[in-house]
Amino acid sequence: MKCYLINLDRSEDRLAKMQAQFDSYNLNFTRVAAVDGKTLTAEQLSKLVDSVQIWEIPLPASEIGCFLSHKKCLELIAHGEDEYAAIFEDDVTLSKECTKFLSNTDWIPRGVDIIKIDTNDMLVALKDFIVIKNTEYELSKLCSKHLCCGGYIVSRNSAKLILKYMDKISVPVDNLIYDPKYRLFSQLKINQIMPALCMQIDTVSLIEADRQQLRIEHKKTPSLLGWIGRELMRPYKRNAHIISPGNIWARWTTSTRWMKVPFKR
CATH of the domain at 55: 3.90.550
Which of 62-76, 87-101, 130-144, 190-204 shows the lowest per-residue confidence on average (mean pLDDT)?
190-204
Mean pLDDT (the chain) is: 87
| Mean pLDDT value of segment 59-87 | 96
pTM for the model: 0.84
| Mean pLDDT value of segment 98-106 | 96
CA 21 to chain centre: 20
> What is the per-residue pLDDT for 182?
94
Cβ 142 vs Cβ 174: under 8 Å: no
> What is the per-residue pLDDT for 54?
82
pLDDT band at 181 (very low <50, low <70, confident <90, very high): very high
| Mean pLDDT value of segment 136-159 | 97
Residue 8 has pLDDT above 70, yes or no: yes
| Mean pLDDT value of segment 75-97 | 97
Give the rounded percent of residues in the chain with a pLDDT score beyond 90: 74
Task: Quote the number of domains for the chain.
Answer: 1
**224 vs 214: which has the higher pLDDT:** 224
> What is the per-residue pLDDT for 57?
78
pLDDT band at 206 (very low <50, low <70, confident <90, very high): low
Highest-pLDDT range among 122-131, 216-225, 228-237 = 122-131
Q: Per residue in 231-241, is it b (16+ CB within 10 Å) or e — as a string?
A: eeeeeeeeeeb
- Domain assignment present for residue 118? The answer is yes
| Mean pLDDT value of segment 127-138 | 96
- Phi/psi for 126 (5° steps) reads -130, 150
Q: What are 39-54's pLDDT values in tens digits?
A: 999 999 999 999 887 8
Domain with 203 in it: 2-216+243-260
> What is the per-residue pLDDT for 160?
98
- Domain assignment present for residue 232? The answer is no
- Domain assignment present for residue 72? The answer is yes
Which of 98-102, 246-250, 253-257 shows the lowest per-residue confidence on average (mean pLDDT)?
246-250
Residue 214 has pLDDT above 60, yes or no: no
Cα–Cα dist 75/86, whole Å = 13
- Domain assignment present for residue 238? The answer is no
> What is the per-residue pLDDT for 249?
47
pLDDT band at 264 (very low <50, low <70, confident <90, very high): confident
- Domain assignment present for residue 229? The answer is no
Give the rounded percent of residues in the chain with a pLDDT score beyond 70: 80
- Domain assignment present for residue 87? The answer is yes
- Domain assignment present for residue 234? The answer is no
- Domain assignment present for residue 221? The answer is no
| Mean pLDDT value of segment 24-46 | 95
